[in-house]
């Protein structure tokens, strides 16, 4: 199997799951948002503040284009990566897409403590409403992933175990 790419909404656990899963699978890990911030020499909120969302999305698409040349990586993406058709095409070509999902109340609970680092949620008056609105808008894009794993009432370890099982099944199906 080529790259394993984690997609899904903010607060669904992509980075934490990605890090542990990469260790369990002995694959190198790439966090796309970290890569974008490194390239820019600025944090994600700073990029949003100085270049707007459009500037960030351009950087994100560039990072997707670059990362789809990697082989056998575990890649965690930012929550908006699936909104761009070109990104989806590139990611699908480079590996298997696993979408992490969670209930809105869980997402709000998980993201509240790190709100300033999430400009899309922190810029408006009501983060809860924003989460619901964005989840509804994005549902059809997340549905393009190959598999979806609900992380709502599970620890990072439990989610990793479930994905490892799914991977074994895929290998079996391919035989
Ligand atoms: C975004 C999610 C963030 C980050 C940026 C935009 C989004 O990543 O890429 O703030 O559009 O959902 P996380 O999903 O890791 O929070």
Report which protein residue has its CA nearest ligand 1's atom 3. Answer: 78
- Residue 112: predicted pLDDT: 87
**Ligand 1 center from residue 65 Cα (angstroms):** 17
Whether 174 is covered by a domain: the verdict is: no
Q: How far, in Å, CA of 25 to CA of 27, rounded?
A: 5
CA of 78 from ligand 1 middle (Å) equals 4
Structural domain total, the chain: 1
For the whole model, what pTM was predicted? 0.95
Give 23 Cα–ligand 1 centroid separation in angstroms: 23
User: What is the residue range of 13's domain?
Assistant: 3-169
Query: In this structure, is residue 163 part of a structural domain?
Result: yes
Binned average pLDDT, 10 residues per bin, the chain of 175 residues:
92 97 98 97 96 97 95 97 98 96 95 87 87 96 97 98 91 64
> What pLDDT is stored for residue 117 in this prediction?
85
Q: CA–CA distance from 3 to each of 22, 70, 123, 130 (Å)?
A: 11, 7, 33, 31
Measured in degrees and rounded to the nearest 5, phi and psi for residue 32 equal: -60, -40
Residue 71 is part of a domain; what is its CATH number?
3.40.50.300
175 lies in some domain = no
């Amino acid at each position: 199997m080529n790259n394993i790419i984690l997609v899904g909404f903010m607060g669904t656990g992509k980075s934490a799951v990605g890090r542990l899963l990469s260790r369990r699978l002995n694959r190198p890990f790439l966090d796309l948002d970290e890569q974008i911030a490194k390239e820019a020499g600025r944090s994600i909120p700073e990029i949003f503040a100085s270049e707007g969302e459009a500037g960030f999305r351009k950087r994100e698409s560039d990072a997707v284009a670059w990362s789809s040349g990697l082989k056998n990586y575990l890649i965690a993406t930012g929550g908006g990566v699936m909104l761009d058709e070109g990104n989806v095409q590139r990611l699908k070509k480079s590996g298997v897409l696993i979408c992490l999902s969670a209930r809105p109340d869980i997402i709000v609970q998980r993201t509240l403590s790190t709100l300033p680092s999430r400009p899309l949620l922190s810029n408006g008056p009501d983060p809860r409403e924003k989460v619901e609105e964005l989840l509804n808008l994005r549902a059809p894009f997340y549905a393009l992933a190959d598999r979806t794993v609900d992380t709502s009432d599970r620890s990072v370890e439990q989610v990793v175990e479930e994905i490892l099982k799914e991977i074994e099944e895929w290998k079996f199906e391919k035989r």
